[in-house]
Chain A
Amino acid sequence: MTDTVAEICKLLEPFNTVGTTLSPSTDISTDLNIDSVTVMDFVMEVEDHFDIEIPLNVLSETRTIADLAKVVEARAKKA
């Protein structure tokens, strides 16, 4: 597990009300049974934690924790 994945998992814990075991392949929306608004709320936490911008546009192609980690790493590098 990369550092980014581990950090994302930590940020995701408060949203993990169904107690899913988190891994890079966890689908943030369907595996955690959270709705679209909650996904956006979670991504806001990720943005602030890493001090980066994750526009809503990229979310449609970001399903798993690994996908999100890739986005975070690419955007952190850019910043």
Chain B
Amino acid sequence: MTDLFDKHRHIAERHQRMLQLGVNAVGVTNQRLLSPTRAIIDGRETILAGTNNYMGITFDPDCIAAGKAALDQFGTGTTGSRIANGSYSLHKDLEAELARFLNRKHCIVFTTGYQANLGMMSGLAGPRDTIYLDADSHSSIYDGCTLSGAKLVRFRHNDAADLDKRLARGEEDGGGRLVVLEGIYSMLGDRAPLADFIEVKKKHGFQLLVDEAHSFGVLGPNGRGLADEAGLEDEVDFVVGTFSKSVGAIGGFGAGNHPLFEYLRYAMRPYMFTASSSPASIATSIAAIRKLAAEPQRRDRLRENSARLFHGFKALGLDMGCDTVSPVIAVKCPDEPSTIAMWNALLKAGVYVNIALPPGTPNKLCLLRCSVSAAHTDSDIDRIITLFDSVVAQGHGKKVVNG
């Protein structure tokens, strides 16, 4: 008999190697949360700089009050899907709130961000269609594409000319064509060059989806994401986003203006066959989105903090994931063992960042990835820079700094 676990033995071996170098870098336990930017890890107070808590909204008193009220009024869970059990008025309220925020006619809420991509990809594209996806797309996009049964063509990251070429190769195929981009790419923090892709859209004609997971609430004058920042929202057919980052809850959404958009509810298995979001999570999301709309200063603060960390790292000579300021700031490291060692040293010194290793990263990069929060103080940011100076610039990462 072949043990089904045989294929996973290499994972166990890699994990053991990581443990020998320190604590479990991919399984940290936050014993207690003190604030959006502080937790007790291993008994020590630690600055959180790897939680995608961009707006620092997770402990907002109004959001917490809304969540508690929803628990009292609607209970702990919905115990089923919206198709089978019906919706709660809260779900409808959240969809209306989001549609307003996004300035889109239709919005569908999902239980997680992951499912939003699974649902939207598989609802929009079918076996006769083709999805063109950026090479650096998030796994939820890849998985959604696979679920759709569509033909999948991968184009070079952020390369509109490469997409143009690949669209031309498939010109005779027939079927619909969906192109998928991300507002901010989660590993390197770079944005899609949206205007270039829209030129290609005008040339070839396709429907365009932008996943604003890391840019929703963050970019643009209205906080609607990259397309808002670029002034190109009319050219984007579908938007996907998540509540687990700037909204500080859990869940996801898809939105668009297509007259048949609402019928996706009956065509997306990841929407139909899972329990709907819990009342507390929905209620905190509604409260948070209202805050994102009413308090643009949060976005300004996040931009200032991001710039402070970005320029601080630049001054240390660190090799960064991209050249533009974004709340995702990744530092390239020489190899896996040194990255693990530096990650451990940073944690011991009191800052939690993400460790990102292949195949979870593009181009086999080993990264120490920071995500900035509007709730970080200047002294938090300066402390992170100081620790990266001693641990990375003067430590194991020296190879990168000095070439």
Chain A contact residues, CB within 8 Å of chain B: 35-38, 40-41, 44, 51-53, 55-57, 79
Contact = CB atoms under 8 A, between A and B. Distances in A.
Chain A interface helix/strand/loop/mixed: helix
B362 A37 contact: yes
A56 B154 contact: yes
Nearest to B363: A41
B362 A57 contact: no
Contacts of A44: 135, 154, 156
A9 B65 CA distance: 62
B170 interface: yes
Interface in B333-380: 358-359, 362, 364
Nearest to A75: B169
Contacts of B358: 35, 37-38
Contacts of B169: 51-53, 79
Interface in B152-201: 152-154, 156, 166, 169-170
Interface residues of B, number: 15
Contact of A55 (B135, B152, B359, B362): B152
A68 B2 CA distance: 28
B166 A53 contact: yes
A36 B135 contact: no
B170 to A, nearest CB: 6
A37 B142 CA distance: 11
Contacts of A51: 169
Given A44-B135, A79-B169, 8 more contacts: A35-B359, A36-B359, A38-B359, A40-B154, A41-B135, A44-B154, A53-B170, A55-B153
B151 interface: yes
Nearest to A54: B153
A56 B153 contact: yes
17 contacts: A35-B358, A37-B358, A37-B362, A38-B358, A38-B359, A38-B364, A40-B135, A40-B154, A44-B135, A53-B166, A53-B169, A53-B170, A55-B152, A55-B153, A56-B154, A57-B152, A79-B169
Nearest to A56: B152
Interface string B270-303: 0000000000000000000000000000000000
Contacts of A53: 153, 166, 169-170
A79 B169 CA distance: 9
Interface string B121-133: 0000000001000
Contacts of A41: 135
Contacts of B359: 35-38
Nearest 8 CB-CB pairings of A with B: A35-B359, A56-B152, A37-B359, A53-B169, A55-B151, A55-B152, A57-B152, A55-B153
A57 B135 contact: no
A49 B170 CA distance: 16
Contacts of A56: 145, 152-154
A45 B358 CA distance: 19
Nearest to B149: A57
A52 B168 CA distance: 10
From A51, A52, A57, residue with most partner B Cβ within 10 Å: A57
A11 B276 CA distance: 48
A57 B154 contact: no
A24 B272 CA distance: 45
From B170, B358, B359, residue with most partner A Cβ within 10 Å: B359
